[in-house]
Amino acid sequence: MKETQHIEWKESWRDEYLKWISGFANAEGGVLVIGKNDLGKVSGVADAKKLLVDLPNKVRDILGIMVDVNLRGKAPREYLEIVVPPYPNAISYRGEYFYRSGSTNQMLKGAGLERLLLRKHGRTWDGVPLPGVALKDLDKKALAFFRAQAARSGRLSATIIKEPDGVLLDKLHLREGTYLTRAAVMLFHPLPERFFGGAYVKIGFFESNTDLRYQDVISGDLFSQVNHAVELIRLKYMKALISYEGLQRIETYPVPEAALREAILNALVHKDYASAIPVQVSVYADKLMIWNPGQLPASWTLARLLGKHSSEPFNPNVANAFFRAGMIEAWGRGIERILEACSIARTPAPEFRAEAAGLWAVFPYAEGAQRTTQETTQETTQETTRDKILAALHGDPTLTRNALAERFGLSTDGVKYHLGKLRAEGRIRHVGPTKAGRWEVLK
């Protein structure tokens, strides 16, 4: 038998081992064995019978919990098993909190301690009220987008959709008394990173692990982050294979849009925002990697995540809003939908990895996609979009970024990117004031 998340061996008793008992109680419970060495062999405890009497009282008086202390073996190789059940409330040792993770006992501080205390009180990070943010601070466009999506999905009644903003948030459980919750700010504030570090998506293109060529940061409300990230990755970072069916031009991306969107959604909905680390998308010539600083639910394994499982979102209030908007399912089918989209598109299935610091989704590209050069793929796709923008500006030089975005189904950031490229190439220039000027098509 080896040491695990549920078993710890000690050759003799020290009062500091109350920390281990606290850690077991705050996690899934476990057994602290006194009288075994690091190899798990019985070495015996000289004062086993005295400890059998003293330890239950000491644990009760210092930690405030009850444990079973069992005497095992025979003299001179008697040893003790201290059986610790998991406790519904957080257990501290002299004002400090510990947690058993793997075969280590960790002292919790900061975000880790907050997670423990919230979980033990039946709360989640995104349900905590946030003072200092008012209803007037939320983005009307984000709220309008949600209403339109919810109406289209049919997952929220028309009566609720038409309610004033405050009532709508109450119905979505995004207010507590007079305070907005963290979820409300993440979903509808124009710049949630003002309140939560790392509340954005970082995208980079890498020639190698150490050679970053260019990068972008996607900020804004969570709905905008999803849409803009997917759009920018497809416009700027991924290469499309071009083929034809008769006269129809077909563009095939190495990662299907449905799979990419679902993966970005999963990363943002299930992210641990207390980590203050952004979701990171690393794009290479042969693969796309999405890293999410999140954690699997307690006692979950990667095998369970990849199989049929219930829905246990890390941020249930955020997840509920995305469900009502018709952007995710409520049955824990995110991974299944990603795999299904890749299967339909006949692209390689992604690999999923769970690490202590977060979760990876790695999309390898098919061999044909790897051979396609950037000059004949990504640029071809982008040139098509830029040609359309040029034609539009030639017909109406007063068109604004917002107007172009609406016309071509792009985000304003996407339009800004293409206009910047056209200006850098000397194909257009802007004349007059920023808001009241016009565009000149030069070539």
Chain centroid to Cα 252, Å, comes to 27
Q: What percent of the chain has pLDDT over 90?
A: 58
Cβ–Cβ < 8 Å for 256, 300: no
Going across the sheet that includes 92-93, the strands are 92-93, 96-101, 104-107
Q: Locate tokens 């997840």: which residue?
A: 319
Cβ–Cβ < 8 Å for 201, 229: yes
Query: Tell me, what amino acid is at 83?
Result: V
Residue with more model confidence, 300 or 128: 128
Mean per-residue pLDDT over the chain, rounded: 88
The pLDDT tens digits of the residues spanning 378-387 come to 444 455 678 8
**pLDDT for position 381:** 46
The pLDDT tens digits of the residues spanning 195-237 come to 999 999 999 999 988 899 999 999 999 999 999 999 999 888 9
Distance CA 237, CA 31 (A): 51
Least confident interval from 178-192, 327-341, 360-374, 376-390: 376-390
C-alpha pair distances (Å), 236 with each of 18, 214, 345: 55, 10, 21
Least confident interval from 93-102, 245-254, 302-311, 369-378: 369-378
pLDDT band at 426 (very low <50, low <70, confident <90, very high): confident
CATH T-level topology, domain 385-441: Arc Repressor Mutant, subunit A (1.10.10)
Distance CA 189, CA 145 (A): 13
The pLDDT tens digits of the residues spanning 275-288 come to 999 999 999 999 99
| Closest CA relative to residue 84, chosen from 48, 45, 55, 51 | 55
If you average pLDDT over residues 301-321, what whole number do you get?
84
If you average pLDDT over residues 121-137, what whole number do you get?
93
| Closest CA relative to residue 119, chosen from 90, 159, 157 | 90
C-alpha pair distances (Å), 129 with each of 69, 126, 275: 42, 8, 18
Q: Is the pLDDT at 441 greater than 90, yes or no?
A: no
Distance CA 212, CA 234 (A): 18
Distance CA 317, CA 170 (A): 12
Distance CA 45, CA 33 (A): 11
The pLDDT tens digits of the residues spanning 13-70 come to 999 999 999 999 999 999 999 999 888 899 888 888 899 999 999 999 999 999 999 9
If you average pLDDT over residues 255-262, what whole number do you get?
95
Cβ–Cβ < 8 Å for 412, 399: no
pLDDT band at 377 (very low <50, low <70, confident <90, very high): very low
pLDDT band at 245 (very low <50, low <70, confident <90, very high): confident
**pLDDT for position 319:** 95
**pLDDT for position 368:** 64
The two three-digit tokens of residue 106, written as one number? 């960790």
Residue with more model confidence, 426 or 245: 426
Residue with more model confidence, 271 or 308: 271
- Listed by start position, the domains of the chain span 7-122, 127-190, 201-364, 385-441
Least confident interval from 6-10, 16-20, 241-245: 241-245
Q: What share of the chain is helix, strand, coil (3-state, %, to 5)?
A: 40, 20, 35
Range 232-265 burial, b when 16+ CB lie within 10 A, else e: bbbbbbbbbbeeeeeeeeeebbbbbebbbbbbbb
Considering the four listed CATH numbers 2.50.20.10, 3.40.50.1820, 3.30.565.60, 3.20.19.10, the one that applies to the domain covering 201-364 is 3.30.565.60
Q: Is the pLDDT at 436 greater than 90, yes or no?
A: no
Residue with more model confidence, 299 or 163: 163
Q: Is the pLDDT at 433 greater than 90, yes or no?
A: no
**pLDDT for position 373:** 36
If you average pLDDT over residues 150-156, what whole number do you get?
95
**pLDDT for position 101:** 86
**pLDDT for position 57:** 94
Q: Locate tokens 């000690």: which residue?
A: 10
**pLDDT for position 383:** 54
pLDDT band at 292 (very low <50, low <70, confident <90, very high): very high
Residue with more model confidence, 69 or 112: 69
Pairing of strands 201-208, 279-283: parallel
CATH 3.30.950.30 corresponds to the domain 7-122: yes
| Closest CA relative to residue 288, chosen from 250, 249, 261, 322 | 261
**pLDDT for position 378:** 47
The 3-state secondary structure of 167-187 reads HHHHHCCCEECCEEEHHHHHH
| Torsional class of 351: left (φ above 0), alpha (ψ -120 to 50), beta (otherwise) | beta
Q: What percent of the chain has pLDDT over 70?
A: 94
**pLDDT for position 370:** 55
CB atoms within 10 A of CB 155: 14
| Closest CA relative to residue 169, chosen from 271, 193, 161 | 161
Highest mean pLDDT (candidates 150-159, 309-318, 349-358): 150-159
Q: How many residues does the chain have?
A: 443
**pLDDT for position 376:** 38
| Closest CA relative to residue 362, chosen from 272, 254, 277 | 254
Query: Tell me, what amino acid is at 290?
Result: I
